[in-house]
Amino acid sequence: MTVLQIAVICAAAPLLQGGMKSLRAKLAGRPGPSITQPYREMAKLLKKETLLAEEMSPLATLAPGLALGIAVVFAAAIQFWGNPLNNFVDIIALAMLLALGRFVLVLVALDSRSAFAGMAASREMTFAALVEPALILGVLGGAGFAGIAPLLSAAAIIIVILVETARVPIDNQETHYELTMIHEGLVLEYSGPLLAILQYAAQIRQLCFLLLAALLLPGSGWLVHLIWVPLLAIGITLTETFFAKVRLFEVPQLLTAALIFSIMGLLLRNGALPL
Amino acid sequence: MRHLGVAATWFVAACAASLAAITLARGDLPTVTVTSPLPILDLAFGVGVLAVPFLFLLALLALAVGIWSLERGTGRDAALVGVFAGTMLLVLCAQSVAAFWIAWEAMSLVSAILVATHFERRIVRRATLTYLAVAQAGALCIIAALVLLALHAGSSSFAAIAANARNLPSGVRDAAFALALAGFGSKAGFVPLHFWLPRAHPVAPANASAMLSGAMLKVAVYGLAFVVLQLAGPPQLLWGIVVAGIGAASALIGVLYAIVDHDLKRLLAYHSVENVGIIAMGLGVAFMMIPLGKPAIAALGLVGALFHTINHGVFKGLLFLGAGTVSDREGTVDLERLGGLWGSLVWTAPFFLIGCAAISALPPFNGFISEWTTFQALVAGLPASPPGVQFTLVGTVAALALTSGLAAACFAKVFGVAFLGKARRPGQKRERETLGPAAASLGLLATACFVLGILPSLAFVPLGRVAGAMVAAPLVLPNAPLLPVLLVTLPIVGASLSWLLSRRRGIRATRTWTCGSPVTPLAQYSATAFSKPIRTIFAFFLVPERRRIVELGGSPWFPQRIIYTTRSRYIIDEVARGFTALTLGIARRSRRLQSGSLRVYLLYAVAALIATMVFVR
């Protein structure tokens, strides 16, 4: 059962990325790529030669596989009945596992001696630290409970998703300007198969995060929850189209909002707030 | 001298390990009492169950520090470290007020001598004085608390005090807790009494720093837990809330100061403040849950705190000893002047990386398991608790999550800037490190980080027994990642596969992409730059002040030189300094009382006599 779940999530992840990219292009009035483009891109990258900055430590070749393995653990941890995460890994262990992948990737970026990668690394670690409380408290607050509390928690998780999947108010996946990159800047030195693995891991993580938020949103039965996934993807794409990136030092305000939502969700759930 | 010192250190380690093992198997050891004419001065020594985890930590750390001292540091330091370890063993074994007092003062004095090693530098002398002042003020509070309890029990032995604990009036109980919190908290580095720690720990030799941060702070934690759980127990709800709140504040403040610091040893000292805060969170939830009648959750919190105590000793010892190796070879621990150590310190670097991952609570290392346990206890305490407790717990969970994220950012900075990339100072080719005792001791501690992370039940089973004896409830672990092996197998397999894939297909080395400008070591991202976003976001607390001097050459667009410095103001230190100035001012004013004239002194005597007669009547 878990193997089937992992297989479906891994197979569908690039499709979600392709769909969002294609929709964003259409909304901007461009014809845009087909929704199967990420698969072709991956096949292309896998065939290419690997280039890497000289004198890098072995961490550089370990990091992509590590990220993919962690993404697969995330896919295995999603549970469609009861709690959104199964007993195999809870949200605290999951958050720390995701932090492991990020930590190694940031070390590789600093190892590459590029100031752009260093800048991206610094921003990535800062925002990751700031969203960690909202992620943990949000999932704890929303898990398996009806009423208004899960809505607050889901709002927190959606803001977390914008950060974790490098979406517009915080980051921009389509930028080609090194100074504004966060996630792209981190993997600037990667190419060929290693880059393909990293991109695939990011796509799996993105789908898993959307599933996690969908399972916190209202509905009964896992099919109803699944309908939320495309709705959330469309919502994120609309945000990307109609809003500009906020200034770097205004992002913490957004993250503080997420933290407050998640704290209120958890307190409401346990009856400490009279509502 | 060196071999004698190392032998003494190992002897202490062997004693601590065997005492801990026997106590764990048989329960409390019988007390040996040396009677004296005054019963209050009786010296009693024995081992209680609560001391077992601390004895194990002392044994492991003393073993590793001894190995390290075989190769590096001076013979004098090695000998003093041996004595220092012995005094800590005595504190952990003390079973009467006088014995505890003597052992505690000996521990403070020997550690002060170690801090004062490089006394020819002014900053070291000042650090030693600050340390001694805080240590003596703390010791005064501790003695006051213990004497208060002994007076009520009518005996100075800890067994009698513990037996009398349930009959204490609540005022005495609270006073003892407050005094113990101030006394042990100042030694453990709780905010706001932490300010001596980042001054004193970094100026000591590396093996002494490892013992100070790794073991001595934990002895203070032991003292607090011992007083609260046994001597003045059972704990009250408010105590737990206070301890958890102080823990959250210490963790956050410690990690924020660590991020903006670029002196490797001082940064590690600030992380000690952070980790002691995390331990206090676990203790706090245990103290809260006992009066709420949830002993199983209290046991879980206590196990989290005790496990983190051991783990912090292990990885902080590893990091301090590694910093000592770096300092010996490079002559500096300033991150901005290091870089590329991975290439020359071939043994130290990977071990140091494991320490960095462990302190950042990353799986599969030991720090992850103990922080995870603390999280579980905090979350499990939420349902059906009064609102005040819930607010504290949720705030503490948020603080712990933020702390672990910020710690990861800090250690990404440390390892990325100092060990990866290219050396920032031009210089001679550095020779490759060979596997000596120093590297081997780091390897021992790194192995402990890994083994305790992969097989946490090695610690859970004995710690569960200790916690069970303290709160009278068996340890019930939540059923999530009891098998961290499962958690990390896939990522490790993935990492090996991608490594193999790149080996097989080959990698072409190219120049780093820097938009076409030359790749120079000085253009690498610096530690100051890395911590810039966090410095800006938390500016309301860190209050950074910056100075920028731009030397324009001919053109305004291409300056020849930019000097940029930034430093944070330490608000708590400033308050402490203000308090010192106030005290000194009052002392200076009161000096006028000492006029030197005999008539005035006679007047004082008569006034005192009259006052006594008035008040005593």
Tell me whether residue B570 is in a domain.
no
Higher pLDDT, B375 or B556: B375
Sign of CA dihedral B237, B240, B241, B242: positive
In this prediction, residue B518 carries a pLDDT of 83
Q: CB-based contact (8 Å) between A113 and chain B? A: yes
Structure tokens at A45: 């990258």
- State yes or no: pLDDT of A78 exceeds 90: no
Tell me whether residue B373 is in a domain.
yes
Tell me whether residue B192 is in a domain.
no
- State yes or no: pLDDT of B103 exceeds 80: yes
Compute the mean pLDDT over every residue in chain A, rounded to the nearest whole number.
89
- Report how many domains make up chain B: 2
CA pair distance B407, A247, nearest whole angstrom:
25
| Full domain range(s) for residue B386 | 234-478+524-538
Phi, then psi, of B220 in degrees rounded to 5: -65, -40
The answer to whether the beta carbons of residues B363 and B484 sit under 8 Å apart is yes
CA pair distance B433, A72, nearest whole angstrom:
38
Cis peptide before B53 (omega within 30 of 0): no
Tell me whether residue B30 is in a domain.
no
The answer to whether the beta carbons of residues B387 and A272 sit under 8 Å apart is yes
Residue in B556, B572, B562 with CA at minimum distance from that of residue B250: B572
CA pair distance B61, B319, nearest whole angstrom:
12
B376–A193 CB contact, under 8 Å:
no
CA pair distance B311, B366, nearest whole angstrom:
6
Q: How confident is the model at residue A87 (pLDDT cuts 50, 70, 90)?
A: low
In this prediction, residue B479 carries a pLDDT of 58
- State yes or no: pLDDT of A219 exceeds 80: no
Compute the mean pLDDT over every residue in chain B, rounded to the nearest whole number.
90
Higher pLDDT, A221 or B337: B337
Count of C-beta atoms within a 10 Å radius of residue B593: 9
Our CA-based measurement puts residue A23 at a distance from the nearest CA of chain B, in whole angstroms, of 32
A69–B363 CB contact, under 8 Å:
no
Highest mean pLDDT among A268-272, B452-456, B475-479: B452-456
A140 Cβ neighbours under 8 A, 6+ residues apart: A91, A153, A266, B379, B397
- The answer to whether the pTM exceeds 0.90 is yes
Work out the angle at residue B48's Cα, subtended by the Cα atoms of residues B46 and B52, and round it to the nearest 5 degrees: 110
Which of A93, A125, A266 is nearest residue B480 as measured by Cβ atoms? A93
Which of B401, B506, B513 is nearest residue A136 as measured by Cβ atoms? B401
Q: Looking at the structure, do residues B377 and B427 belong to the same domain, yes or no?
A: yes
pLDDT mean over B302-312 = 96
Alpha-helix runs per DSSP H in B335-483: 348-359, 366-380, 387-414, 437-454, 457-471
pLDDT mean over A69-96 = 84
pLDDT tens digits for B331-377? Answer: 889 999 898 899 889 999 999 999 999 999 998 899 999 999 999 99
Report DSSP state, residue B228: I
Share of chain A above pLDDT 90, in %: 57
CA pair distance B373, B270, nearest whole angstrom:
23
A240 Cβ neighbours under 8 A, 6+ residues apart: A24, A167, A168
Cα A92 to chain centroid, rounded: 16
Which positions in chain A touch B490 (Cβ < 8 Å)?
69-70, 72-73
pLDDT tens digits for B164-190? Answer: 888 888 899 999 999 999 999 999 999
Structure tokens at B429: 């080719």
Which of A115, A129, A248 is nearest residue B525 as measured by Cβ atoms? A115
pLDDT tens digits for A117-149? Answer: 999 999 999 999 999 999 999 988 877 666 777
The answer to whether the beta carbons of residues A213 and A224 sit under 8 Å apart is no
CA pair distance A131, A126, nearest whole angstrom:
9
Phi, then psi, of B120 in degrees rounded to 5: -70, -15
Q: How confident is the model at residue B484 (pLDDT cuts 50, 70, 90)?
A: low
For the CA atoms of B228, B268, B274, B527, the dihedral, rounded to the nearest 10 degrees, stands at 170
Residue in A189, A105, A108, A113 with CA at minimum distance from that of residue B339: A113
pLDDT tens digits for A2-28? Answer: 889 999 999 999 999 999 999 999 999
For the CA atoms of B182, B185, B190, B196, the dihedral, rounded to the nearest 10 degrees, stands at 90
B499 Cβ neighbours under 8 A, 6+ residues apart: A58, A61, A62, A65
DSSP A83-120: SSB-TTS-HHHHHHHHHHHHHHHHHHHHHTT-HHHHHH
The answer to whether the beta carbons of residues A146 and A101 sit under 8 Å apart is no
Tell me whether residue B551 is in a domain.
no
Tell me whether residue B408 is in a domain.
yes
Higher pLDDT, A218 or B335: B335
In this prediction, residue A88 carries a pLDDT of 67
Q: Looking at the structure, do residues B588 and B443 belong to the same domain, yes or no?
A: no
B360–A99 CB contact, under 8 Å:
yes
Among B489, B514, B538, give the residue marking a domain's end.
B538
Q: In Å, what is the CA distance from B506 to each residue of A142, A193, A251?
A: 47, 11, 40
pLDDT tens digits for B50-97? Answer: 999 999 999 999 999 999 999 988 889 999 999 999 999 999 999 999
Task: Give the helix/strand (H/E) hosting B43.
Answer: strand B43-45
Q: Looking at the structure, do residues B459 and B354 belong to the same domain, yes or no?
A: yes
Q: Looking at the structure, do residues B473 and B595 belong to the same domain, yes or no?
A: no
Which of A66, A178, A263 is nearest residue B495 as measured by Cβ atoms? A66
B594 Cβ neighbours under 8 A, 6+ residues apart: none
Q: CB-based contact (8 Å) between A224 and chain B? A: no
Q: How confident is the model at residue B423 (pLDDT cuts 50, 70, 90)?
A: confident
CA pair distance B464, B472, nearest whole angstrom:
11
Tell me whether residue B97 is in a domain.
no
Cis peptide before B364 (omega within 30 of 0): yes
Which positions in chain B touch A63 (Cβ < 8 Å)?
495, 498
Q: CB-based contact (8 Å) between A133 and chain B? A: yes
B505–A111 CB contact, under 8 Å:
no
Q: How confident is the model at residue B490 (pLDDT cuts 50, 70, 90)?
A: confident
Task: Give the helix/strand (H/E) hosting B561.
Answer: strand B561-568
CA pair distance B65, A127, nearest whole angstrom:
37
- State yes or no: pLDDT of A109 exceeds 80: yes
- State yes or no: pLDDT of B139 exceeds 80: yes
Q: In Å, what is the CA distance from A243 to each residue of A237, B131, B194, B303?
A: 10, 54, 45, 48
> b/e per residue, A161-197, with b = 16+ CB within 10 A?
bbbbbbbbbbbbbebeebebbbbbbbbbbbbbbbbbb
The answer to whether the beta carbons of residues B373 and B304 sit under 8 Å apart is yes
The one-letter amino acid code at A75 reads A
Q: Looking at the structure, do residues B590 and B452 belong to the same domain, yes or no?
A: no
In this prediction, residue B234 carries a pLDDT of 87
Residue in A125, A133, A252, A169 with CA at minimum distance from that of residue B540: A252
The answer to whether the beta carbons of residues A154 and A95 sit under 8 Å apart is no
The answer to whether the beta carbons of residues A77 and A139 sit under 8 Å apart is no
Q: How confident is the model at residue B30 (pLDDT cuts 50, 70, 90)?
A: confident
Q: CB-based contact (8 Å) between A260 and chain B? A: no
Structure tokens at A101: 């992948």
DSSP B9-32: HHHHHHHHHHHHHHHHHHSSPPPE
pLDDT tens digits for A141-189? Answer: 877 666 777 888 889 999 999 999 988 888 888 887 778 888 888 888 8
Give the total residue count for chain A.
Answer: 275
Q: How confident is the model at residue B141 (pLDDT cuts 50, 70, 90)?
A: very high
- Pairing relation of β-strands B561-568 and B43-45? unpaired
Our CA-based measurement puts residue B496 at a distance from the nearest CA of chain A, in whole angstroms, of 6
Which of B387, B394, B412 is nearest residue A107 as measured by Cβ atoms? B412
Structure tokens at B158: 């800890």
